[in-house]
Amino acid sequence: MGNASVSMPDVRVILVRPQHPGNIGACARAMKNMGFRHLVLVAPRQFPAEEAVARAAGADDILAAARVVDSVRAAVADCVFVAATSARDRTIPWPRLDARGAGTALCAHARSGPVGLLFGAERTGLTNDEVDYAHVLVQIPADPEFASLNLAAAVQILCYETRCAALGAAPAPESGHRPASQEDFNRFLEHLERMMADVGFLDARHPRKLMRRLTRLFRRAQPDDNELQILRGILNAVEHPYPPGRGRGDNT
Ligand code: SAH
């Protein structure tokens, strides 16, 4: 039973600081098996590499087209939705999905633009700062006594679930709103942080905790382009106040 003609959503599989080139190749193979093509490597220890090509077993076109960047921020810049995978429970209460739920969510968001799927390094996983770039945290419900899968096995499961969701997905509804890009979203957060520091609300010695909470709040809201513009407009108005009674009027 082949499904060759079904095109898969634009999911960017993002491997953060992968240590073993063999795993990169195995991930490329896992992706191609499920119909995904966009591989992004954040600061790989060794790439390109012969071992990666060997383990790709015919998916070397994915490796050849892989984009190499130096930060998670750059990797997700044009994504409208980002999911981070983790074997571990995190102390930060981030919105969570299991692998099946992640497949459905990635498919749904991919209707508006590229979506990112973050995977951590083999030994250490993703840092909390890297998880900050994600809307949801995804766990494969493995045995809690032995929950850490091989990197390529984790990629395989997430790609499989996303493929299943895509094969069963209903046709896309029109929303009318353009989703904000992650880069615009991150610039908004930087602007907010700057402004809060200026007005003395943010304790400059410990900015991270509050910023993480606010990041979570705004990510949950998933502002579209227009809504982000309004928020940026408010920040600008705080920095450069209009004279009383002379507001911009129509701010929408
Ligand atoms: N020791 C690391 C595990 C790294 S495994 C840790 O505790 O986080 C390499 C990567 O594979 C992880 O960063 C994650 O992206 C993915 N992965 C492994 N097991 C997973 C699981 N059960 N659920 C979700 N992702 C998993």
In the 3-class helix/strand/coil scheme, how is 132-151 assigned residue by residue? CCCCEEEECCCCHHHCCCCH
Centre of ligand 1 from the C-alpha of residue 193, in Å: 31
Burial class for 94, CB neighbours closer than 10 Å (0-12, 13-18, 19+): buried
- In the predicted model, is pLDDT for residue 189 greater than 90? yes
Which helix H or strand E contains 155, and what residues bound it?
helix 151-168
* pLDDT confidence of residue 204: 75
At 172, the pLDDT band (50, 70, 90 cuts) reads low
In angstroms, how far is the first alpha carbon of the chain from the final one?
A: 50
Q: Which residue has the tokens 């095109």?
A: 7
Centre of ligand 1 from the C-alpha of residue 36, in Å: 20
- Ligand 1 site: residues with CB under 6 angstroms? 85-88, 119-120, 122-126, 138-140, 142, 147-149, 151, 154
At 3, the pLDDT band (50, 70, 90 cuts) reads very low
Closest atom, ligand 1, to C-alpha of 147: 22
Which one, of 27, 6, 32, lies nearest residue 15 by Cα? 27
Would you state the structure tokens that stand for residue 209, as one six-digit string?
């905790």
- Strand ranges, E, within 72-216: 81-85, 96-98, 115-119, 136-139
- In the predicted model, is pLDDT for residue 56 greater than 80? yes
The residue nearest atom 21 of ligand 1, judged by CA position, is 87
State whether residue 179 is helix, strand or coil.
Answer: strand
Q: Where are the domains of the chain?
A: 11-167, 182-251
Domain 11-167 carries which CATH code? 3.40.1280.10
Q: Provide mean pLDDT across the span 115-122.
A: 97
Centre of ligand 1 from the C-alpha of residue 150, in Å: 7
Which residue out of 72, 85, 96 has the highest number of ligand 1 atoms within 8 Å of its CB and is therefore the one to mutate? 85
Q: Provide mean pLDDT across the span 2-11.
A: 75
- In the predicted model, is pLDDT for residue 251 greater than 60? no
CATH 1.10.1200.10 correct for 182-251: no
Would you state the structure tokens that stand for residue 64, as one six-digit string?
């050849």
At 250, the pLDDT band (50, 70, 90 cuts) reads low
Centre of ligand 1 from the C-alpha of residue 221, in Å: 27
Closest atom, ligand 1, to C-alpha of 122: 9
Which residue out of 94, 124, 148 has the highest number of ligand 1 atoms within 8 Å of its CB and is therefore the one to mutate? 148
pTM: 0.82
Residue 177: φ, ψ to 5°: -110, 140
Centre of ligand 1 from the C-alpha of residue 125, in Å: 6
